[in-house]
Amino acid sequence: MDEPKTRYEEFSIQGSELLAKVKDVIRKGNVRRVYIKNSDGNTLLEIPLNAGIGITAVTAMVAPALVAVGALAAVLTKVTVGVESVADADDRTDPAPPPQS
């Protein structure tokens, strides 16, 4: 059986939008990992997730990380949110290579 494909996406956003974006990404599900980079491309925070856990469990599990995300949002003006997720079975796009830290 083929292992599911991994999809990588990055979103450049303002620091004030950071917490809402991370919560939205987690809520959508199938997320393996979320990372946050500053404008220089340095990874500031990486949140590993289990794509098979329910949304409520994930939210409770990452609550401390969300506090850190909120603190980062207060001091950063521009950030990149990266998402590593399981690609849908009907997803025909080639996933981007994993991001470099």
Q: What is the 3-state secondary structure (H, E, C) of 81-93?
A: EEEEEECCCCCCC
At residue 83, what are phi and psi to the nearest 5 degrees? -130, 125
Strands 31-37 and 6-14: unpaired
Strand partners, 8: 84
pLDDT, averaged across the chain:
77
Tens digits of residue pLDDT in 7-40: 899 999 998 888 889 888 888 878 888 899 998 9
DSSP state of 97: P
pTM of the model: 0.68
Q: What angle do CA 22, 35, 68 make, to 5 degrees?
A: 65
Question: What domains lie within the chain, and their CATH numbers?
Answer: 6-86 (3.30.1490)
